[in-house]
Amino acid sequence: MKECTYGHYLRRARKRANITQERLAELTSCAVSTISRIEAGEENPRARTFYAVDDVLGSYGLEYGEHTLDILSEGRRVRNELLEAIHIGQLEKIENVLEKFQHLMDMNNKKHLQYYMFSHLETARRRGMPIEEFIEASVAIYQSVKSFPGYDEIADLQLRKIEYTILMKIAIAYIEIEETVLAKHIIHGLIRNPMNSNSCFRRDRFLYLTHQLAKLNMVESNYAETVNLLEEVFSDLLNDGRYRMLYLNLLVQQEICIRCGDTEGEMLLDSFFLSSKRLMEYMFRKYKRP
């Protein structure tokens, strides 16, 4: 994030206050190594650490917390926008978000560069880069930060969002060139990976990957595994509050139809609700988690 990372502000403010890293760590009940990594841009502070540091430096008359927190939040928001643009594969969207990201990124931070390089690679793929070349370059970008994992290791790795995305895109590329065995190895690993299962990022990718795996199984006439996958998906959807909210909003829409005299809309929603009720009763009996 150029000269506006949290670490840059922290280092500058600490020196202005004439405090050593050791003293700041003592005053904030942090490890010295934590302060060092934050200043080096290797990690962002947890909320407790951020406010503890802010309190200490504030006692020296240095106020920078609100500005710096805004920078952190903006950087995180743009990274998430970039990941979503890569996921849906809209070239114009990727390029627009990438332009914003360039203004925030730190060119000396390997993890920021990984986002930047993979975004450019995805745009090249959308413009016709050969799939084999895309896969090779994706592996190289992954390896710019850490070693590329064996396929049997993916399920147990602690993956960052960009790493998860790179592996997912490699799997989809393998599907496109009909290397289905390699694709399935990666997808199985990502589905079983313990990344926060309650995050929107993880849930959306889980549904996408299970869909891809189910399609592969159908091509191979592997119906038993397809049924198992669909059971997982249906169970996940039935426990997702977002879909219950959709149902409630459709009820409001039906009320609007009634009040506006829209008979056709009212009848279509009635039919939808009746069919949905029968389907949901069946699915709850079959797929609801105990």
For residues 205 and 189, is the Cβ–Cβ distance under 8 A?
A: no
Residue at token pair 């313990």: 194
Tell me the residue type at 206.
F
DSSP letter (8 states) at residue 150: P
pLDDT band at 136 (very low <50, low <70, confident <90, very high): very high
Q: What is the pLDDT of residues 196-249, one digit of tens each?
A: 565 778 878 888 898 899 888 888 888 888 888 877 777 776 666 667 777 788
pLDDT band at 112 (very low <50, low <70, confident <90, very high): confident
- Give the tokens for residue 279: 């389907």
Confidence (pLDDT) at 233: 75
Q: Is pLDDT above 80 for 288?
A: no
The answer to pTM > 0.85 is no
Q: Is pLDDT above 60 for 4?
A: no
Please state, in angstroms and as integers, the Cα–Cα distance from residue 265 to each residue in 13, 134, 251, 253, 258, following that order.
62, 47, 12, 9, 8
Tell me the residue type at 247.
Y
Considering Cα of 69, then 38, then 160, then 86, what sign does the dihedral take? positive
Confidence (pLDDT) at 256: 94
DSSP letter (8 states) at residue 27: H
Q: What is the pLDDT of residues 138-191, one digit of tens each?
A: 999 999 999 999 989 999 988 888 999 999 999 999 999 999 999 999 999 998
